[in-house]
Amino acid sequence: MRVINKAIVKFTNLLPENIVYIFAKKYIAGKTLDEAIKVVKDLNSKGIMATIDALGEDITNKQEAIAAKDECLRILDAIEQNKLNSNLSLKPSQMGIKIDFQLAYVHIAEICERAKKYSNFVRIDMEDSSLTEATLELYKELRKKYDNVGVVLQAYLKRTLNDIITLRPLNPNFRLCKGIYIEPESIAYQSKKKVRRNFIEALETMFKNGMYVGIATHDEYLIKEAYRLIEELKISKDKYEFQMLYGVKEKLRDKINSDGHRIRIYCPFGEKWHKYSMRRLQENPNIAWHITKSIFFPN
For the chain, the average pLDDT equals 90
Residue 110, classified by CB atoms within 10 Å of its CB into exposed (0-12), middle (13-18) or buried (19+), is: middle
pLDDT at 293: 53
Q: Are strands 49-54 and 86-90 parallel, antiparallel or unpaired?
A: parallel
Please give the average per-residue pLDDT across 119-148, as a whole number. Answer: 97
Give the phi and the psi of residue 29 in degrees, each rounded to 5. Answer: -85, 30
Q: Which residues on neighbouring strands pair with residue 157, listed in sequence order?
A: 188
pLDDT tens digits, 73-93: 999 999 999 999 999 999 999
* Interval 217-226: pLDDT, tens: 999 999 999 9
How does DSSP assign 46-115, residue by residue? TT-EEEEEE-------HHHHHHHHHHHHHHHHHHHHTT-SEEEEE-GGGTTTTT-HHHHHHHHHHHHHHH
pLDDT tens figures, 115-125: 999 999 999 99
Measure the CA–CA gap between 76 and 40, rounded to whole angstroms.
13
- Give CA–CA dist 184/34, Å, rounded: 40
**What is d(CA 216, CA 171) in angstroms, rounded to the nearest whole number?**
19
Instruction: Kindly write down the DSSP assignment for every residue of 210-269, as one continuous string.
Output: T-EEEEE---HHHHHHHHHHHHHTT--GGGEEEEEETTS-HHHHHHHHHTT--EEEEEEE
- Is a pLDDT exceeding 60 seen at residue 286? no
pLDDT 10s digits, 252-283: 999 999 999 999 999 999 987 766 666 655 55
- pTM for the model stands at 0.90
154 in helix, strand or coil? strand
Measured CA distances, 197 to 155, 171, 204, 222 (Å): 9, 24, 11, 9
Mind listing the pLDDT tens digit for each residue in 149-168? 999 999 999 999 999 999 99
Is the confidence at residue 2, as pLDDT, over 90? Answer: no
The pLDDT score that the predictor gives to residue 143 is: 98
- CB hemisphere CA count around 23 (13 angstroms): 20
User: pLDDT value at position 299?
Assistant: 47
Inter-residue contact 152 to 100 (CB < 8 Å): no
- Closest by alpha carbon to 112, among 166, 162, 73, 165? 73
Asked if residue 137 has pLDDT above 70, the reply is yes
Percentage of the chain modeled with pLDDT above 70: 83
Report pLDDT for 247.
87
Domain boundaries, the chain: 1-28+278-299, 31-269
Answer whether residue 296 shows pLDDT above 50.
no
Residues involved in catalysis: 125, 175
Q: What angle do CA 139, 274, 181 make, to 5 degrees?
A: 45
Give the model's pLDDT for residue 22: 63
Its CATH class, for the domain covering 31-269, is: alpha beta
**Chain segment 162-219, per-residue pLDDT in tens:** 999 999 999 999 999 999 888 999 999 999 999 999 999 999 999 999 999 999 999 9
Provide the pairing of β-strand 49-54 with 149-154.
unpaired
Alpha carbon 48 to its chain's center: 16
Reported as a single tens digit per residue, the pLDDT across 7-35 is 655 656 656 666 666 667 778 899 999 99
Q: Do 213 and 176 touch, CB atoms closer than 8 A?
A: yes
Measured in degrees and rounded to the nearest 5, phi and psi for residue 291 equal -65, -45
CA distance 18 to 293: 19
Residue 59 CA neighbour count, 13 Å, CB half: 25
pLDDT reported for residue 271 = 84
